[in-house]
Structure 1
Amino acid sequence: MACKMKPTLTVFTPTYNRVDLLARGYAAVLRQTSHDFCWLIIDDGSKDNTREVVRSWFDPASMKEEGDHIIGVSKDASWLQMHYCYKKNGGLHTGYNKAIELMDSEICVCIDSDDYLPDDGVEIILTEWPACKAKGLIGIIGRDYYLDGRVIGSPLPNVESACIIELSNRYHHVGDKKIVMRADLLKSVPPQPSFPGEKNFNPIYMILQIDKFGKYLLLEKNLCYVDYQETGMAANIFKQYVNSPNSFCALRCLHLTLDYTTWKYKLMNILHLSSSAIIAHDLSWLGKCKYPVLAYLSLPFGYILSLYVRKKSKTTISTNI
């Protein structure tokens, strides 16, 4: 099942027990000044009444419900195509995998359930995309904003385009940003792997897999309002290191294959790889990375880091992703 008419853009929203915040996102998509998009909601096994609330947003005459899917148009805006999909809880990265599988559009952007689009967010993306495509760019990187209107992070570099990894390594940009990507490229790489019992695998893994295909237009415009939650992924990084060590090993191994990275960056990832491998009780990860000798030599330092990570994980708040 997919949106009835193929849109240029898919706005996908992974959600888990966030029905109270999801309504704000729905209101935001209704206010969009450009309508060439589909809203894809991936429900990662919510135990609240997310499905019932989302169902109430559909126009009953258009709604088609089959198993875990509901498709149709909004009762509040006949132009708004919506697709709801329920899946067994597996973590945010599995929501990305399912969204990539289902989307049928040229480009896509993730708007988390606790965040929302500015009223002209879709219009900005669709206005910029034709020129991006003509230049061979693979997407757009725009800005995230706090709810009070402050921009998140440092300014983007004064260049037209860059790879994601270039932003931090070459231009020293810091802070979250909104990434619009070509859907076909995400579909062309393997889905993000899952490890038993681990649900905190950062979806940046999928995004970095396509970094090798090209660069993104850098756009100093607001594409998303961000409402950081105490139970969100960003707030619980040390617990994630402990609860999902194999996932972080896989992510560190990927980081070590990327272009535009400095040796300082490589050594930092090697150290974190050693720490995560120790926490996972699986040192075979060290032999799988691009620099196995350095990885094994880093074990004493990785052990010290693993002790620090375990200690810090006991002082941060819990998460339920």
Structure 2
Amino acid sequence: MPYFTVFTSTYNRGYTLFRLYESLKNQGTTDFEWLIVNDGSTDNTHQLVEEWIRKEKEFSIRYLEKENGGKPRAINYGIRYARGKFFFMVDSDDFLLPNALSKMKNWCKEIENNSDYIGVGAARGFPDGSYIKGVSPIVNEQGYVDATNLQRIQFNLDADMCEAYKTKILKKYPMPEWPGEKFAPEQIALNEIALDGYKLRWHSDIIYQCNYLDDGLTKGSKVLEKITQWVMR
């Protein structure tokens, strides 16, 4: 059993997915699988990944295809097949900094046998090395804070962070799926986890680099949030 399932759902991102692949080669550990769910892409993603699978000797790459249904369905589909002890989602337009998984593994070892915790978190950053929110998380002298998903704002964790969740527990909290809708906030499922009392150990280290694209879900979700706020006035 690999320690991590690095999970990536992708839709027409063959032109950027290679950066994540290259970053996975620089992790200082090979105790992970890369599980890719192709969510109905019409580009060259299939050919690229098949070539990587043939060439890669250091870690496992597993590839699944499904009809386009949006990221929540892709996550639910992928987690069914995850073999890792921890499930770590990395978007197809982002990548990990060197030794990110080595750091995450050390942190996960600290809490893996503690039933109060569902996982660990760390910070995402921009290419210039700055925090997404512009300020660092509020942590203790050891560089972390224990908190649930519902406590994120008070510790400056409300901007984009990255998390590795205990796979067995996360499988009990599927992402919401609504008929005819391809997008649903992941926070719905994550808040259910928090309401059941599970904490994460959040670290202030930036281990994950974002590259928000014009066609990305993050930008689209911000627009959706603004529209929702305007309608509710």
Match of 1:141 in 2: 121
Match of 2:99 in 1: 120
Q: Give the deviation of 1:205 after TM superposition.
A: 2.5
Gaps of 5+ in 2: none
Q: CA, structure 1 residues 174+204, in 2 after alignment: closer, same or farther (shift >3 Å)? A: closer
Q: Give the deviation of 1:181 after TM superposition.
A: 0.8
More strand by share: 2
Q: Give the deviation of 1:235 after TM superposition.
A: 1.4
**Take 1:231 and 1:26, find their aligned partners in 2: how far apart are those partners?**
20
Match of 1:215 in 2: 199
**Take 1:124 and 1:171, find their aligned partners in 2: how far apart are those partners?**
21
| SS of the residue 1:103 aligns to | coil
**Take 1:101 and 1:11, find their aligned partners in 2: how far apart are those partners?**
14
Q: TM-score, normalised by structure 2?
A: 0.89
**Take 1:139 and 1:173, find their aligned partners in 2: how far apart are those partners?**
15
Structure of greater Rg? 1
| SS of the residue 1:147 aligns to | coil
Q: TM-score, normalised by structure 1?
A: 0.65
Residues 17 and 92 of structure 2 are in contact (CA less than 8 Å); yes or no, is this contact kept in structure 1?
yes
**Take 2:167 and 2:108, find their aligned partners in 1: how far apart are those partners?**
13
Q: Give the deviation of 1:125 after TM superposition.
A: 0.7
Picking from 151, 169, 174, the partner of 2:131 is 151
**Take 1:118 and 1:99, find their aligned partners in 2: how far apart are those partners?**
23
Q: CA, structure 1 residues 54+232, in 2 after alignment: closer, same or farther (shift >3 Å)? A: same
Q: Give the deviation of 1:50 after TM superposition.
A: 0.6
Q: How many residues align?
A: 226
Question: 1:30-179 alignment to 2 at 5 Å?
Answer: 30-59=25-54, 75-76=55-56, 78-136=57-115, 137-153=117-133, 154-159=135-140, 160-168=145-153, 170-171=154-155, 173-179=157-163
2:120 alignment partner AA: I
Gaps of 5+ in 1: 1-5, 60-74, 244-271, 276-304, 309-321
Could you list the structure 1 runs, at least 4 aligned residues long, displaced by more than 3 angstroms after superposition.
170-174, 237-243
Alpha-carbon RMSD across the aligned residues, in angstroms, is: 2.1
Residues 94 and 211 of structure 2 are in contact (CA less than 8 Å); yes or no, is this contact kept in structure 1?
yes
Q: Give the deviation of 1:184 after TM superposition.
A: 0.8
Q: Give the deviation of 1:202 after TM superposition.
A: 2.0
**Take 2:107 and 2:175, find their aligned partners in 1: how far apart are those partners?**
29
Residues 8 and 107 of structure 1 are in contact (CA less than 8 Å); yes or no, is this contact kept in structure 2?
yes
Q: Give the deviation of 1:9 after TM superposition.
A: 0.7
More helix by share: 1
**Take 2:170 and 2:232, find their aligned partners in 1: how far apart are those partners?**
36
Q: Deviations over 1:237-292 (max 9, x none)?
A: 3664699xxxxxxxxxxxxxxxxxxxxxxxxxxxx6xx7xxxxxxxxxxxxxxxxx
Q: Deviations over 1:105-131 (max 9, x none)?
A: 211111000000111011001111111
**Take 1:102 and 1:24, find their aligned partners in 2: how far apart are those partners?**
24
**% identical equivalent positions:** 26
Q: CA, structure 1 residues 51+106, in 2 after alignment: closer, same or farther (shift >3 Å)? A: same
